[in-house]
Every structure is written in C-alpha cells, then in structure tokens.
Structure 1
Amino acid sequence: MALLEISVVPVGTGSESFQDDVDRAVAVIEQNGLKYQVTPTSTIVEGDIDKLFDVAQVIHLNEVKNNAKRVVTTMKIDDRTDKDMTLEGQVNKVDK
C-alpha cells in the first residue's frame, strides 16, 4: 500500500472556485474503489502504487478535458515497501 497526496490547480477556467474540480477528482477515486481523505489544499489517496499513478493521470487529464488552459498537478508519494501503510494508521500514529 502507498499513499498519494495530489493537488490539481486548473488555470484559465474563468472561475476562482475549485469545488467542481475536487468533486470530479473524488468521483474518479471512488470509481476506482480507493480510500481517500480530502484536506483543505489536497487529497490523500491510499492504494497500490500502479493504481495511484493511473488515478492521478485521469484526474489531471480530466481538468484538461474540462477546458482548463493550463493544469498544475503536484503529487507526493509515500511508498513504504517493508510493511503496509494506511491512511488511518498514519493518522492514528500522529494522534497518539
């Protein structure tokens, strides 16, 4: 299991709001059956590394298809190979 933090900023859409963009991204994540957590500035997704890359690409390209003149996508991946890692487990470690 790996964690992906993704933030997508569409530019040139004529709107200052990102709500519809976040909704589209979450729909892609849910269609792929992945766990996620939306934060104020990004979304964290849990899953197999290959699936995470696929989902990130779809999310990015959806913004291009939605007529953004420019799309800036920032990703951070935490891929631990010695043991499984989950969203819940990482949050619980911090809360303790």
Structure 2
Amino acid sequence: MLCNVSLQVLPGVPEEQLYQVVGQVIELIQESGVKYVVGPMETTMEGELHQLLGIVEKAQEVCFKNGAARVVSVVKIDCKAGGVTIDEKIKKYR
C-alpha cells in the first residue's frame, strides 16, 4: 500500500554546513528510487511504509556521518486504505 512520509531533518551542525548536510539527505532520498517532492521545509516521499521508514533511519545516519552531534527529525505519515499518492494530493495545484 502506498503511503506518504514527510521528513524534515534538523542536523546539529554549524549553520554554514546546514544546507550541505540536508542536501546529503535529499541525495539519499533520490538514490532510493522512491517518488519524492522537495519543499522548503520538508521532503515528502511516496512508497511502502517500511521502505520509507528505512530511509528516515538512514537519513539520521547521514546527518551523523556529516558531523551532526544531534539530529531532530519531524516525520509525518499519511496512509489510507487503498493507498495514497502525492499526485492525488497536489494535482489541483500543479
């Protein structure tokens, strides 16, 4: 069943390194092959819940490998019977 998971990572790094670390997380999402949309505050992914939660876990590791002493993440999950897609939510606005 397709779900949407939105992820916002707030790595504990100096401000001048923030975008570089967030960029590494977005690269991880890109390389995973899931459908995703980058927004100004979070990235929304589409796929099977277990796969998306695995990406969330790996995102934490990416932050630590890039020097974060601490990582705060905000995760939103949207699942419904029969699945839910990014397109059905935003097609009216695109």
**What is the root-mean-square deviation of aligned Cα atoms in Å?**
1.7
Report the AA paired with residue 83 of structure 2. Answer: D
Q: Find the aligned partners of 2:75 and 2:29 in 1 and give their Cα distance.
A: 15
Residue 10 (structure 1) aligns with: 11
Q: How many equivalent residue pairs?
A: 93
Q: Using the alignment, how far apart are the partners of 1:19 and 1:57 within structure 2? A: 19
Residue 85 of structure 1: how far off its partner (Å): 1.2
CA distance in 1 between counterparts of 2:42 and 2:16 reads 16
Does the Cα contact within 8 Å between 2:3 and 2:47 map onto a contact in 1? yes
Listed as ranges, the gaps of 5+ residues in structure 2 are none
- Of Structure 1 and Structure 2, the greater helix share is in 2
Aligned match of 1:51: 51
Superimposed CA distance per residue, residues 5-25 of structure 1 (whole angstroms, 9 cap, x where no aligned partner): 1000011x2224532123211
2:90 paired with 1:91: yes
Percent identical: 27
SS across alignment from 1:2: strand
TM-superposed CA distance for 1:55, in Å, is 0.3
Three-state SS of the structure 2 residue aligned to 1:19 is helix
Is the 8 Å Cα contact of residues 25 and 63 (structure 2) preserved in structure 1?
no
Q: What is the DSSP-based 3-state SS (H/G/I as helix, E as strand, rest coil) of the residue aligned with 2:14? A: coil
Asked whether the equivalents of residues 21 and 66 of structure 2 are also in contact (C-alpha less than 8 Å), the reply is no
Distance in 2 between residues matched to 1:30 and 1:40, nearest whole Å:
16
Q: TM-score, normalised by structure 2?
A: 0.87
